[in-house]
Amino acid sequence: QVRLVESGGGLVQPGGSLRLSCKASGFNFRLNTVDWYRQPPGNQRELVASITSGQSTNYADSVRGRFTISRDNVRNTLYLQMNNLKPEDTAVYYCHLYRSSSDYWGQGTQVTVNS
């Protein structure tokens, strides 16, 4: 079955960087669009970035120019490089797949930006 496992979250100071990873299994990773979402405390889950099978990318306005989404189709892994982090980036970050009319989510990884 589909499995998405995030890692790489943590506590970082404003202006710092983190790289999140999402290890995927149970489906043909290279053929699917995959996404990063985040859910800030007390707020709804929101789309952060997407990457298609053809490596086209899309970003939320709030992260464009600071975050970079990428994928390794050999390792079946999705990445999110986050630079110049701000306190408003604090959230649980989720890996997401929409496939066969179903949404699949990882367990999430906490990112906290705080001095």
φ/ψ of residue 31, rounded to 5: -95, 0
Mean pLDDT of the chain: 97
Arithmetic mean of pLDDT, 45-65: 98
How much of the chain, in percent, has pLDDT values that exceed 70? 100
Arithmetic mean of pLDDT, 59-71: 98
Q: What is the pLDDT of residues 4-15, one digit of tens each?
A: 999 999 999 999
Whole-number pLDDT of residue 86:
98
Confidence of residue 18 (pLDDT cuts 50, 70, 90): very high
Q: What is the pLDDT of residues 87-101, one digit of tens each?
A: 999 999 999 999 989
Q: Is the pLDDT of residue 52 over 90?
A: yes
37: Cβ contacts below 8 Å, ≥ 6 apart: 45, 46, 47, 48, 93, 94, 96, 105
Arithmetic mean of pLDDT, 35-57: 97
- Burial-class residue 13 by CB neighbours within 10 Å (0-12, 13-18, 19+): exposed
Q: Is the pLDDT of residue 115 over 90?
A: no
